[in-house]
Amino acid sequence: MAGVALALLGWSQIARAAGDLMIRNARLLDGTGAAARDGVSIAIREGRITAIGPDLPEAVGGPVLDAGGRTVLPGLIDAHVHFAAAPGGAFRGDSPATRRELNRRHLRAYLASGITTVLEPGSPEATVREIEQMIAEGAPAPRYLTTGPMITVPGGYPGTDLHGPVKSPEDVRQKLALIQSLNGVGVKIAVESLGGLAPYPPDILEAILSGARERGLPVYAHATAPQDQATALGYGVRAIMHSPMGGHWMGQFLPPPDLSEEYVQRMAKSGAYQQTTFSILDAWPNHYDTARLADPSVRLVVPELELETARNPEATRYFFSQLIGAQAGWTPEFLRPYIARLLFRKTNLDEGLEYSQRNVAKLYRAGVPIVAATDAPSIWPLAMYNFHGPQLAREVELLGAAGLPPDAALAAVTRVPASMLSLDAEIGTVEVGKRADLLIVDGDPQKDLRALRNVRWTVHDGVAHTPAEWING
């Protein structure tokens, strides 16, 4: 296996192991838009790509990985994940120790699924510190980026005090300082008018937007309803963190009208990125096909504890009972499963997903940069199927099914999120000078996006392992 050396990364104070490696006999799809090339060698020194060219007859020494003609792609980026709760965590009543151990496994699951960078937007301070400490202690992990706690107000989204809500412009300044002390790469706000949540008072909103601007922190907006996305766009945000969803995930029947041409053009001009998060609806109980639990890409990387919960019908009942309880606490317990069955029928969830896919495709055609992201595990701690790792390949497939060409769907998990994160000089494509974050798969993802499930090796900072090695090694 690859030799190991310590290297200090430009955007992080965390030292990590970086490898020397020669990959031979690769079919390189470098992610720049260039056509795939066969018979390619990639030389890596201390975690960085130093040369790419036709295979030489013999390797120049050092560790060698023969890709066997398989396709090499840039390592994937999931630009929307959460570690504050594990899938099914509320049903099991995970202790903090259990959650920590599961997160250790989730970090490995990302690597085993070909994901070499994750962004956790809006995370409680304690969660960020826990993850950063694990990585500092040498836990195998993808590049971990965060925006620290979401800036929210009392009674605002997400409806809990988890993020420490701000009550004054002075509180906002302290929160921004905290985000910077956590190496935050941006600021997460929530623009959410569904569910009767409190909006930002004008002085607080102004303090957030001007404070973020002064500190050079891009603003990432949670917004799901089209009218809220239009409002967020007016704030000059870097990205809208969910596809337009209508109210299907809240149990509403009537989708809003499709995005107007005026809005689509306005978004294209703004330069803002659109995240997909189709997985929220795709992995919703009553929509998720539990046969997918047997998919090898799921079985290998998802912790057994989470698979057990996912197979347990009691967990689904609990999910709906809690969800209805949260939205309409006056509903008698015994009625909740019936209400849930009525509101969250599969056809309603299908419609919601199609609405999101159709409108994201519309944004894509207008030139809006699209970023595929899962929001795993989403609606935490209740949700139980939006698994860390394998769900990202599914997200890309759903983007392809929405009508994006395969190259655009692949760019949405590589080059485009790298540019959203201002890391395009470091990651996102396979080019000399960039970090050696690579994915080697069976099959041709340009012909069939499902090839992303067939990970043979993930190379992170020049260190190559098979999925089983990333999970168990």
State the residue for tokens 């090499």.
72
Cα 236 to the chain's mean position, in Å?
A: 22
State the residue for tokens 């519309």.
362
Decide whether 204 or 239 has the Cβ nearer to Zn ion. Answer: 239
CB of 428 to Zn ion, least distance (A): 22
Task: Determine which helix (DSSP H) or strand (DSSP E) holds 54, and give its type and residue range.
Answer: strand 48-54
DSSP designation for 151: B
Decide whether 166 or 379 has the Cβ nearer to Zn ion. Answer: 379
Decide whether 47 or 87 has the Cβ nearer to Zn ion. Answer: 87
Residues that bind Zn ion (CB under 5 A): 375
Task: Determine which helix (DSSP H) or strand (DSSP E) holds 23, and give its type and residue range.
Answer: strand 15-28
Decide whether 241 or 441 has the Cβ nearer to Zn ion. Answer: 241
CB of 238 to Zn ion, least distance (A): 15
Longest dimension (CA), the chain: 74
Cα–Cα distance measured from residue 322 to residue 335, given in angstroms and rounded to the nearest whole number: 12
CB of 245 to Zn ion, least distance (A): 12
CB of 109 to Zn ion, least distance (A): 18
Cα–Cα distance measured from residue 258 to residue 309, given in angstroms and rounded to the nearest whole number: 36
Quick one: tokens of 285? 């109980």
Q: CB 398: neighbour CB atoms within 10 A?
A: 23
Decide whether 78 or 306 has the Cβ nearer to Zn ion. Answer: 78
Decide whether 192 or 375 has the Cβ nearer to Zn ion. Answer: 375
- Tell whether the torsion through CA atoms of 214, 216, 217 and 218 is positive or negative: positive
Specify the 3-state DSSP secondary structure of 181. helix
Cα–Cα distance measured from residue 451 to residue 323, given in angstroms and rounded to the nearest whole number: 35
CB of 277 to Zn ion, least distance (A): 7
Quick one: tokens of 446? 């340009």
Backbone Cα Rg of the chain: 22
Cα–Cα distance measured from residue 216 to residue 212, given in angstroms and rounded to the nearest whole number: 6
CB of 233 to Zn ion, least distance (A): 18
CB of 378 to Zn ion, least distance (A): 7
Q: Which backbone phi and psi does 74 adopt, to 5 degrees?
A: -65, 145
State the residue for tokens 């994901």.
115
Quick one: tokens of 264? 């689509």
Decide whether 130 or 375 has the Cβ nearer to Zn ion. Answer: 375
CB of 80 to Zn ion, least distance (A): 6
CB of 119 to Zn ion, least distance (A): 10
Contact 300, 467 (CB under 8 A): yes
Cα–Cα distance measured from residue 44 to residue 7, given in angstroms and rounded to the nearest whole number: 13
Decide whether 150 or 438 has the Cβ nearer to Zn ion. Answer: 150
CB of 36 to Zn ion, least distance (A): 34
Decide whether 122 or 142 has the Cβ nearer to Zn ion. Answer: 122
Q: Which backbone phi and psi does 177 adopt, to 5 degrees?
A: -65, -40
Q: Which backbone phi and psi does 167 adopt, to 5 degrees?
A: -115, -10
Decide whether 228 or 375 has the Cβ nearer to Zn ion. Answer: 375
